[in-house]
Structure 1
Amino acid sequence: MNRRSFLGTTTLTGLGLSVSGLLADESAQEEKTARQIAVFTKYFEHLDYADLAEKIAPLGVSGLEAPLRKKGHIEPEEMTKELPAFNAALAKKNLEVIIMASSINAVDARGLAEEQLRLAARLGIKRYRLEHLKYDLSKPLAPQIANFKSQLSDLAALNKACGIQGLYQNHRGNNFVGAPIWDMVDILSDIDPAHLGMAFDFAHAAVEGSNAWEINFRRALPHIGAVFFKDYKVTGKKWSACPLGEGMVNPKAGKLVSRMLPTNIPASIHIEYISGEDVVDRSVEAMRHDFATLQKWLG
């Protein structure tokens, strides 16, 4: 304890105030304002809800980026029936769905998107990730961008009505909307990020932007509602997933997040370098490694 802390403590004690109580309040405040970190449970989809929570809880993360989509933990048509039980199983282990990875990228005529979003919001899920959009490269791009802008404006209005935030992830790929970042920034330019913003993926930004990843991050900054961390190595012309810190993603990304984004914007860890036998247990260990690395990067 330094001199200032000692004098402050002595004064409080003299006034009859509980030092332990104040320290507990301070600790609770720090915990409340800490950035939430989730893990993407893409390779855990075959586990039942209790087993899933049992595997993730010891990591010490805030919760899950849960694939609640086609071929995910819960199929879209089964959400009404299954999502409350899924949430309850996580809650027993002090976990929550930080981001729902969905099959939604438009307002559909059936109303399935609205049904899912209203249910998720009612259960306390604050954010969902959109299904990716793709360009038809046999057609001019400008009219497609205009159509995507209209499509996502309508979806943002639905999000506002439901009380949930949509997030569009930039993804590497020759025909992925948002791969170059600037097209998605343009699409979102007139949309309130509280209703629909970006999940900025540093790995995909490094693959597509190389040295321009930081420029792209700074340009996207007003629209960012979450950040995704994973890593890739490059051998010749081939990209391959690897543990965080062993590839192209610059540790500076963590410092930028801590300095430039408020703590209510969560981070999610994606593990994509595990395959073969015992994929669940090995993925848990990989998550533990990447979580420790990300904590160091975030400072």
Structure 2
Amino acid sequence: MTKRATNYSRREFTKLSALSLASIPLLSFQNNFVNEISSSENLNIHLFSKHLQFLDYNDMAATAAEMGFQGLDLTVRRKGHVLPRNVVEDLPKAVAAIKKYGLTPTMLTTNVWDANSQLNKTVLETASRLGFTHYRTNWLKYPEDTPITESQALFGKQALALEKLNKKYGIIAGYQNHTGKNVGAPIWDLLPILGATKGEFIGSQYDIRHAVVEGGESWELGLKRIKPYINSIVIKDFKWGKVNGKWKPISVPMGQGMVNFRRYFTLLKKYKINVPVSLHVEHDLGGAEKGRKTFTISKKEVLRRIKKDLEFVKETWENF
């Protein structure tokens, strides 16, 4: 290649740049549920109810309130606190207990994705009627025999259909980024899918733990890119360690791992992101971290470890 071939005039460079930009698909950056929310003094923190799976609705709500949570991220899914097939009968019971102890029914974790499923419609309609505003969707997997771009196009159409259903019921979906081979494990992976929607009634449930696992030191770039779609967040921590001779991310108590919460909270405030928060306590709770109903440590110790994580989040948020 000659030297002349790499030296463009300013006019030629401008023309080439314009053509390049025009070839990039436009993505939706209008998430009204995020842009209208400003940073405030406190976070609205909900405990992932999976960790209180050993308690009934009343004791679950009483315990969460006593520890200082604003609410529960209630599992309405297979093996959850509320089974989807029983949602019409059981969800009102759970909500009655939640309200009894001064908590707010805001967040759900579900298996919902297919907008054509009658069961999913029943879950969303019931949840919305009872006051819930945010829910986590089911995870997606890439088929082995289909190109990723084709799968993303299909998932984008499905996301748009789900967004329309959410709008009908007045409830907002968040897709959680999760490590491994799940769709959306790398944050950039979600953009073609969410970009097919209006970004209003569906978006990102941003998980900083999984973002750092997958993104390493570039997690800030992913956060900056996905931030217009963030409508809820998950908080937890991890470190790398060897398990049976293989390196894996290991969950640890808040502040003891690789997530830089000082920097993260500083950026959330800078971007004016203050959305519902789900606290996941996935480090050792004697089995309660996995949703088990029996565990190897005392109930008192389980709750102490959960509350310690909550106190870390509150203190760090207030100071940065």
TM-score, scaled to structure 1: 0.84
**Counterparts of 2:70 and 2:162, CA distance in 1:** 27
RMSD (Å) for aligned C-alpha atoms: 1.6
Selected match of 1:144 from 138, 151, 158: 151
**Counterparts of 2:45 and 2:143, CA distance in 1:** 35
Tell me the alpha carbon deviations over residues 45-67 of structure 1, each in whole angstroms, 9 at most, x when there is no partner: 23211111121111111101111
Gap regions ≥5 residues in structure 1: 1-31
Helix, strand or coil: the match of 1:199? strand
**Counterparts of 2:122 and 2:257, CA distance in 1:** 40
Cα distance, 1:186 vs structure 2: 1.8
Partner residue in 1 for 2:110: 102
Partner residue in 1 for 2:315: 296
1:147-186 to structure 2, matched below 5 A, reads 147-173=154-180, 175-186=181-192
Cα distance, 1:279 vs structure 2: 6.5
Against the structure 1 CA distance between its residues 279 and 127, is the aligned structure 2 distance closer, same or farther, given a 3 Å change threshold?
farther
- Report whether the alignment pairs 1:218 with 2:224: yes
Against the structure 1 CA distance between its residues 211 and 262, is the aligned structure 2 distance closer, same or farther, given a 3 Å change threshold?
closer
Partner residue in 2 for 1:283: 302
Against the structure 1 CA distance between its residues 117 and 212, is the aligned structure 2 distance closer, same or farther, given a 3 Å change threshold?
same
Tell me the alpha carbon deviations over residues 163-206 of structure 1, each in whole angstroms, 9 at most, x when there is no partner: 00001000001x20010111212211132333001010000001
**Counterparts of 2:123 and 2:56, CA distance in 1:** 21
Partner residue in 2 for 1:203: 209
**Counterparts of 2:308 and 2:272, CA distance in 1:** 24
Partner residue in 2 for 1:60: 68
- Report whether the alignment pairs 1:90 with 2:98: yes
Selected match of 2:233 from 222, 227, 235: 227
**Counterparts of 1:280 and 1:222, CA distance in 2:** 40
Tell me the alpha carbon deviations over residues 198-244 of structure 1, each in whole angstroms, 9 at most, x when there is no partner: 01000000100010111111100000001111011112522211001
Tell me the alpha carbon deviations over residues 230-274 of structure 1, each in whole angstroms, 9 at most, x when there is no partner: 0111125222110011111112112212231343x1222100112
Q: In 2, are the aligned partners of 1:255 and 1:297 still within 8 Å (CA)?
A: no
**Counterparts of 1:225 and 1:185, CA distance in 2:** 15
Cα distance, 1:297 vs structure 2: 2.4
Gap regions ≥5 residues in structure 2: 1-39, 287-294
Q: In 1, are the aligned partners of 2:175 and 2:205 still within 8 Å (CA)?
A: yes
Partner residue in 1 for 2:276: 266
The number of aligned residues is 265
Higher RCO (CA 8 Å, separation ≥ 6 residues): 2
TM-score, scaled to structure 2: 0.79
Partner residue in 2 for 1:23: none
Q: In 2, are the aligned partners of 1:193 and 1:225 still within 8 Å (CA)?
A: no
| Identity, % of aligned positions | 32
Partner residue in 2 for 1:20: none
Selected match of 1:246 from 253, 256, 267: 256
- Report whether the alignment pairs 1:255 with 2:266: yes
